[in-house]
Structure 1
Amino acid sequence: MDVTIYEVARRAGVSIATVSRTLRGTGPVAPKTREKVLKAVEELRFTPSRLGVSLAEGRHAANGIVFPNLAGPYYTEVLLGYEEVASELGRSVVILSTKGRTRVHDLVKDLAGRVDGLMVFGHTAPDDLVAELVRMGMPLVFVSREPLAGADTLRSENTESARALARHLLEHGYQRFAFLGAPIATGDDVDERWQGVRSVLGSAIEAVPTEHYTVECGYQAARTLLRASGRPQAIVCSDDEVALGALLAAEELGLAVPDELAVTGWDDIMAARHARPALTTIRQPMRELGARAARALDELITGARDTPRHLVLTTELVLRASCGHHPQEEPR
């Protein structure tokens, strides 16, 4: 079995970040500490892989980003926030979208060998590869994923906001609900939203899958749902794009929103504010997610800190007309 950077760190009595800084020749490392690390490398006959060599040489000045899909305003906002900060820090950004790609494991590993650190969205990278990258000491930041040992995680709050949304809908008198969203993976953002609304609504809400988080998929799923008997009185959507599709389906079927059907979304993209009726949603700081991820990854790459951090950003329930609410005109 190959020797890992963790074993080198244990033998030298230092952190993996210190081992990484020593091998890269970047960042402050005391002479005695450097000597201990190099001695451990020699004793263990530690031979870095292609990825390890790239990390040790520290020659990239580039960050890698792994997204499941680059289409849609949510990913765009996160990417814009990331790129703005990365640019300030003098780092270029290499992007990998895995949508429709085969051999994702190999593609992500190849990207990891060409950059100094990776930001990975959710569960896009295979778990076995994630474990391998963590063992090697690769600087990693995950966005929209549950806490993971050995890497930073950054996400927006989901569960409490979903509960607040569900309670608001109950106050309007709705009794039959559907949760419209892509197949739910345990631990991801959509799963937390589903668990939140279900904890309040119980058996009054059913989960209805969509193929993707898009307007078209939301439209198709909502159209089928609303044409069936016993249609819901309110649809809670996994994101705003799915909700916009549901609004289109309701309009096509002649259902008045919110008089005959309430629709809610998540994210608060620009189109949500200008939909007719305007969309009730949960506002999350999409661009801030990207910006914070870029700064966190830079801290790990430069060795500014060794300990992984797990941050949850605040979200906000935004009430608009699509659920029967009649707010005053928004200031922005």
Structure 2
Amino acid sequence: MTEQSRGRQQAATIYAVADLAQVSIATVSRVLQGSHLVTEKTREKVLDAVRALDYLPSGAARSLAARQHAAFGLVLPELSGPYYSELLVGFETRAAELHQSVMLVIAGTKDDHGRALRTLASQVDGVAVMGADVSHVRASSKPLVVIAGQGRPDTEVILTENVESARTLTEHLLDHGRSRLLFVGDPGAARDVHERHEGFLAAHAGRGLVPAAPVLAPFREREGAAVADRIISGELSTDALVCGNDELALSIMSRVLDAGLDVPGDLAVVGWDDVMTARYVRPGLTTVRQPVQEVGALAADRLHDLVSGAPSGALLHVLPTEVVIRSSCGCPAPSRTNTVSPAPPRKRDPR
């Protein structure tokens, strides 16, 4: 080995590899771990950079042996749809700024979350888990942060405000004279959906109205189309829909418009998330904007503090949301927003 190549090997780091390959350090980590979540083109770019720099992954192992933080784990229920990609971007970007790599695990069912946590516990310094109830999962020595889920009594939980925003959105439809509202989503599927349905119920209770039962639908495009077909056929009688996310709302809008119904004339539709498409469709989608990337970044920040031994602060972190009024609800088409702040912080999550 020449002095030049020896010097290059000593200087090479995972960050240098990521920079040369023009990818994130999390992507480099995935390639080196043999993950299938990387395209063949990206894999080749990373491996070419590894060869060019004479990078040895064992350097990361030496870093771990020196008790330096190397990786965070992130457990997501899936990766489909814009929400999870936004969350992942926020988490990975902040982790990279903190000089951490990221190990991603997809847990398809509720039973998989405990298994995913046990798998990651031996490979990372801390884990963030999304949309899960880990209150009964065996405690781990590794720091744990829960996003939009249920934690143990000593676990930090990160949420966005849901109840008041959903109440405001539902009241807005009632103010438009809509009288046969339906909530589309499954309140039993996740904590945030449950809270959005709570807001829907609260708006009706505040007007002395009896709400209809929710239309149970997973957050997938095809499920929205199925709900739309039930409306078109007359199986569901409604003049306004409060959808649990934008993917359902946009899918329903597209299907009913193709069938000749008018939105919002025949059917008002509102969603949740404010994905990019929501502002470009016609009519523009009235929805709720939540800071998804900021949630991911905060989860990485909290893990870093916990791994570093910083004292725990609040166990519950609630980020504000914004009601975004466009025209799918019946309004002319402004773009005003109404920020809904969370309730005063509580010392412990009571759920």
TM-score scaled by structure 1?
A: 0.75
Higher RCO (Cα < 8 Å, 6 or more apart): 1
C-alpha change, 1:303 and 1:241, in structure 2 (3 Å) is same
Match of 1:128 among 136, 140, 163: 136
Per the TM alignment, residue 173 of structure 1 is displaced from its structure 2 partner at its CA by 0.3
Structure 2, gaps ≥5 residues long: 1-63, 338-351
Percent of residue pairs bearing the same amino acid type: 38
Change in Cα spacing, 1:255 to 1:279, as seen in structure 2 (3 Å) is same
Partner of 2:341: none
1:264 corresponds in structure 2 to: 270
Match of 1:311 among 312, 317, 340: 317
* Aligned mates of 1:234, 1:243 — CA distance in 2: 11
CA shift for structure 1 position 308: 5.2
**Secondary structure in 2 aligned to 1:321?**
coil
Q: How many residues align?
A: 270
In the alignment, structure 1 residue 96 sits paired with structure 2 residue 94: no
Q: Deviations over 1:31-57 (max 9, x none)?
A: xxxxxxxxxxxxxxxxxxxxxxxx998
Superposition map of 1:184-195 within 5 A: 184-185=187-188, 188-195=191-198
| Deviating more after overlay: 147-156 vs 67-76 | 147-156
User: For 2:104, what is the secondary structure of its paired residue?
Assistant: strand
Corresponding position of 1:38: none
Cα 1:330–1:127 change in 2 (3 A) is closer
Q: Residue 116 and residue 328 in structure 1: after superposition, are their counterparts in 2 closer, same or farther (change >3 A)?
A: same
Could you tell me which residue of structure 2 aligns to residue 178 of structure 1?
182
Does 1:106 pair with 2:111?
A: no
Structure 2 CA distance for partners of 1:223 and 1:244, relative to 1, 3 Å = same
Indicate which of 131, 137, 144 corresponds to 1:140: 144
Match of 1:86 among 84, 89, 95: 95
Shift of 1:276: 1.7
Label 1:103 to 1:290 Cα distance change in 2 as closer, same or farther (>3 A): closer
Q: Post-superposition, which runs of at least 4 consecutive aligned residues in structure 1 deviate over 4 A?
A: 55-60, 100-104
Displacement of 1:111 in angstroms is: 1.4
Aligned partner of 1:108: which letter?
L
Amino acid at match of 1:169: L
Could you say what the CA RMSD is over the residues aligned between the two structures, in angstroms?
2.4
Counterpart amino acid of residue 209 in structure 1 = L
Residues in 2 aligned to 1:186 and 1:146: alpha-carbon distance in whole angstroms: 12
The answer for the alignment partner of 1:206 in structure 2 is 213
Residues 224-252 of structure 1: CA distance to partner in whole angstroms, max 9, x if unpaired? 23422561000110000010111022113
Aligned residue in 2 for 1:30? none
Q: How does 1:28-67 map to 2 (within 5 A)?
A: 58=67, 61-67=70-76
Compute the displacement of 1:138 (Å). Answer: 2.1
Per-residue CA deviations over 1:211-270 (Å, capped at 9, x if unaligned) read: x21222111122223422561000110000010111022113211000110000001010
Listed one character per residue, the Cα deviations across residues 94-136 of structure 1 (whole Å, up to 9, x for unaligned) are: 000112798553333111221100000021x65432xx23xx3
Query: What 5-or-longer segments of structure 1 have no aligned partner?
Result: 1-54
**Residue 314 to residue 116, structure 1, CA distance change in 2 (3 Å):** same
The question of 1:153 aligning with 2:160 is answered no
- SS of the aligned residue for 2:95 comes to helix
Distance change in 2, residues 1:204/1:310 (3 Å) = closer
Whether the 8 Å CA contact 1:147–1:310 is kept in 2: the answer is: no
1:274 shift after superposition: 1.1
Does the 8 A contact of 2:73 with 2:103 survive in 1? yes
The 1:137/1:150 distance shift into structure 2, 3 A limit, reads farther
Change (3 A) 1:141 1:189: same
The residue identity in structure 2 corresponding to 1:313 is L
